Chains A and B, each alone.
Chain A
């Protein structure tokens, strides 16, 4: 629950940041606050575990290779076929 409380403080801070100082420092202030808020949220991001990462990567590689092989095979066949039907080439 504390994490929500923290970010609420930080959200209220973003309202405060736009109200004091000259325009330039206000801009940098709110920009800095925004970046720190981004980093704050990034810290709460759940990242994949090592084995999860490895599994997904492998599966995607297999899937993509299979699809490429399949499409290349189809293309080869169709090219021959169209070449037969429409004359020389292929």
Chain B
């Protein structure tokens, strides 16, 4: 079975795609290490060595940028502005009629929407980099290290402007890299880049737990938990409700019900990991906002303190409940924008297909909607549970300081891994090769 990995490399087309994706990942990681002009690399290194535990406050943002945020590198903002922008644009399609019309327009409208997403990404990147750099002028908070007083080479407005410009350009480049992966590589670009970022910080975080506790059982326990989650995710991802579809042509054959009837696969979790990514990046925003509004002497506004107390660690019930609610919402939301029953029903009608016992056209669309809503409920609950359970487990072993968003990161890693492997697999099968999974 594992020889299929080798076989994937022997297929010229697929090999090119995989190597391309790996090259993009390498560029992405390189950018995460190159410091922004105006920042002193050696001072940052010194600050990070003496950093206290409290720098998890930027935890998720730092995690999603693969540690680049606290390095103040050119890719410091990473893929986050792009994610936020696509959430906003997709939410707007429901609210603004013009966007809805664009979406229905098909290919042309879709590319218009992508364009808007890009503009919004750049705007968000300017905003975020400006706030972040203003904040970096007083780095003792950022690294939770009182000895760290300055990391910039000079405070002039020109330097600051160059830094904002560099980080914004970096975000633009990351966005482009992500789109390149989606177009010419394997997997979804946005997911692959987040996957890379988390994969970059994961081993370090695991090792930190081992070092801190000085015990192997917790270390192995977390790895074991990872394996169990992988199996669980695989189980649910592979479960599907198959709606039988028969095509009129095929009924002409010898048998009454025709040769082969096909089915529409409705996965229990149609939305994949996207709801989790959306929910957790939205949840990171209040912490980020609070971080920028915190005063050095501890006299912050009331709401800042409230966010710090309840949302920073990710181990309070307020956090957990908001998280669950967001995941449930985004699961339904994402399923509703990715699967359109009316469109599927229309297509089936066009090609002479029907669901046995259901009339073509509107009743078919209604039936699909009926099944979809009912199958998504357990799917959404599963997503919420699986991202919250590791969180609880990590709190129980006291490891949550190193894994501020344990469940999410494990779920994203497994989800993206599975999606990518399946995409490679389907491309292998297209070429009549026996895939990984035989």
State the main secondary structure of chain B at its contact with A.
helix
Q: Is A56 part of the contact surface with B, judged by Cβ < 8 Å?
A: yes
Contact B239 A47 (CB under 8 A): yes
Check if A42 sits within 8 Å of B378, measured CB to CB.
yes
- Of B235, B370, B378, B436, which one neighbours A53 at CB under 8 angstroms? B235
Given A59-B421, A82-B33: A53 in contact with B234 (beta carbons within 8 A):
yes
The interface-forming segment of B163-171, B212-220, B291-299, B352-360 is: B352-360
Q: Provide the residues of chain B in CB contact with A52, threshold 8 Å.
A: 238, 437
Give the complex CA separation of A58 and B196 in angstroms: 20
Chain B min CB distance to A64 (Å): 5
Asked if A67 is at the interface of the complex by the 8 Å CB criterion, the answer is: yes
Whether the Cβ atoms of A64 and B199 lie closer than 8 Å is yes
B405 within 8 A of A: no
Q: Which of A32-48 contact B (CB under 8 A)?
A: 34, 37-38, 40-42, 44-48
With A and B bound together, what is the CA distance between A55 and B80 in angstroms?
33
Whether B11 is near chain A, meaning CB under 8 Å from some CB there, is no
- Kindly state the separation between the CA atoms of A70 and B23 in the bound complex, as whole angstroms: 11
> Is A55 touching B1 in the complex (CB atoms < 8 A)?
yes
* CB of A18 closer than 8 Å to a CB of B: no
B407 part of interface (Cβ distance < 8 Å) = no
Contact of A46 among B195, B203, B241, B357 (CB under 8 A): B241
Q: State the Cβ distance, A17 to closest chain B Cβ, in Å.
A: 14
Contact count band on B: 35 or more
Task: Indicate whether B162 reaches chain A with its CB closer than 8 angstroms.
Answer: no
Residues of A within 8 A of B241 (CB): 41, 44-46
Contact of A11 among B370, B375, B413 (CB under 8 A): B370
In this assembly, does A5 line the interface, its C-beta being within 8 Å of a C-beta of chain B?
Answer: yes
User: Is B437 a contact of A86 with CB atoms below 8 Å?
Assistant: no
A27 contacts partner chain B, Cβ-Cβ < 8 Å? no
Q: Is B227 an interface residue (CB 8 A)?
A: yes
Contacts of A42 in B (CB 8 A): 375, 378
In the complex, chain A residues whose CB is within 8 Å of the CB of B29: 71, 74-75, 78
* In the complex, chain A residues 66-87 whose Cβ is within 8 Å of any chain B Cβ: 67-68, 70-72, 74-75, 78-79, 81-83, 86-87
In the assembled complex, the CB of A77 is this many whole angstroms from the nearest CB of chain B, namely: 9
Distance between Cα atoms of A41 and B368 in the complex (Å): 12
B417–A63 touching, CB < 8 Å: yes
> What is the total of A-B residue contacts with beta carbons within 8 Å?
138
Question: Roughly how many angstroms separate A11 CA and B437 CA in the complex, as a whole number?
Answer: 38
Name the residue of chain A whose CB is nearest to the CB of B238: A48
A83 to B371, CA, bound (A): 56
Q: Which residues of B contact A88 (CB under 8 A)?
A: 42, 45
What is the CA–CA distance of A72 and B29 in the complex, to the nearest angstrom? 10
Contact A59 B436 (CB under 8 A): yes
B239 touches A87 (CB 8 A): no
Contacts known (A74-B29, A89-B41); A4 close to B358, Cβ less than 8 A: yes
* Neighbouring A residues of B30 by C-beta, 8 Å: 74, 78
A57 within 8 A of B: yes
Q: Are B239 and A48 in contact (CB under 8 A)?
A: yes
Q: Which residues of A contact B358 (CB under 8 A)?
A: 4, 8
Q: Are A45 and B240 in contact (CB under 8 A)?
A: yes
Interface residues of B in 183-205 (CB under 8 A from A): 195-196, 199-200, 202-203
Q: Which B residues are CB-close (under 8 A) to A64?
A: 199, 230, 413-414, 417
- Against A, the Cβ 8 Å flags (1 = close, 0 = not) of B336-360 are 0000000000000000000111100
Question: Which of B374, B414, B437 contacts A38, CB < 8 Å?
Answer: B374
Residues of B within 8 A of A86 (CB): 35, 41-42
Is A24 interfacial (CB 8 A cutoff)?
no
A47-B235, A72-B203, A89-B45 are known contacts. Are A60 and B417 too (CB-CB below 8 A)?
yes
Q: Which residues of B contact A81 (CB under 8 A)?
A: 33
B157 lies within 8 A of chain A by Cβ: no
Nearest CB in chain A: distance from B168 CB, A: 21
Q: Judge whether B94 is part of the interface by a CB distance below 8 angstroms.
A: no
Q: Shortest Cβ distance from A84 into chain B, in angstroms?
A: 11
Bound: A44/B414 CA distance, A: 26
In the complex, are the beta carbons of B42 and A75 less than 8 A apart?
no
Which are the 7 A-B pairs with shortest beta-carbon distances? A89-B45, A48-B238, A86-B41, A4-B357, A78-B33, A56-B234, A41-B374
Q: List 13 A-B contacts (CB under 8 A).
A: A1-B356, A38-B375, A38-B377, A41-B375, A47-B239, A53-B234, A56-B421, A63-B417, A67-B199, A68-B199, A71-B196, A72-B200, A88-B42
